[in-house]
Structures are given as C-alpha cells and as structure tokens.
C-alpha cells in the first residue's frame, strides 16, 4: 500500500488510485502531488473546529446522526459568495440602524410624555398611559 506521509490527508479514493497503477509509478509521486491528487479526487483536509458536536440518535430500528460544526471560514469565497456576504452585512447593518433609530424615538417619546409635553392636541399613541397602567 502507498501512503502519504500525513495520513489524515489520505483518502480511500487516493489509495484505490495508487493501488491500481504500477508500483514504480505510484512511488514516483511527491508529497505535494499526492495531496493535489487527493483534493482533485474529492478528498478533504479535515480541520479542527471550535464547535464540533457529533451525536447518534437511535430511533426504533434505525439510527440517525446529527453533526454541528462551526468555526472560522478559511476558504476562498467565489465572487457570488463575496457579493452575498456584502449584501448580508449591509442588510444586517441597516436592520441594526433601523432598530436603534426606532428605539431612540420610543425613548424620546416616553421622555416627552413624562415631562408632560403635548405636541398635538387630542392625539396620543397611548404608550405612556399603557406604561403607567403596568407600573
């Protein structure tokens, strides 16, 4: 059997490929070439994740697995993924800003109502009176 020096990089598909070729050819690959072949065949370099939860749940005659992985993304993002990331960040920032402005307006309205300032005659949102009835 032909092994890569770092066994965590060796996949079953790479082993089968190397076993299918003549021994002198399989031995001629460098470590870098073996890693590139492994990645081209769909092998992965498994990384440690900050959150790595793996559970098996048995349910009647079957069992199911649940995996939760989380960590820093170190992959190169495609152009679409970069645009999606920017859009998500912009939407999150806009929602945070909108929420902050609305909260600020509610606080200002409550301060105005507490001081007894009435901007419009016979008009109230009822927030101050509702708050007083709860307290």
Dump pLDDT digits (tens) for 18-47: 888 998 888 898 888 888 888 787 765 566
The two tokens of residue 75 are 């992959």
Cβ proximity of 27 and 35 under 8 Å:
no
> Model's pTM, two decimal places?
0.46
**Positive or negative: CA dihedral 67, 68, 71, 74:** positive
Note the pLDDT of residue 123: 83
CA-to-CA separations, 120 to 117, 123, 124, 125, in angstroms, rounded: 9, 6, 8, 11
Strand partners, 55: 66
Of 96 and 135, the one with more pLDDT? 96
């Amino acid at each position: 059997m032909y092994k890569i020096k770092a066994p965590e990089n060796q996949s079953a598909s790479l082993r089968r490929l190397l076993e299918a070729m003549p021994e002198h050819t399989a031995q001629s690959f460098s470590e870098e070439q073996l890693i590139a072949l492994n990645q081209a065949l769909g092998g992965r370099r498994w990384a440690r994740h900050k959150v790595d939860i793996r559970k098996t749940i048995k349910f009647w005659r079957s069992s199911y697995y649940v995996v939760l992985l989380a960590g820093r993304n170190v992959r190169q993002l495609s152009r679409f993924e970069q645009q999606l990331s920017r859009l998500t960040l912009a939407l999150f920032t806009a929602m945070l800003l909108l929420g902050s402005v609305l909260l600020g307006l509610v606080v200002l309205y409550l301060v105005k109502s507490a001081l007894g300032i009435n901007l419009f005659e016979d008009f109230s949102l009822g927030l101050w009176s509702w708050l007083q009835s709860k307290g």
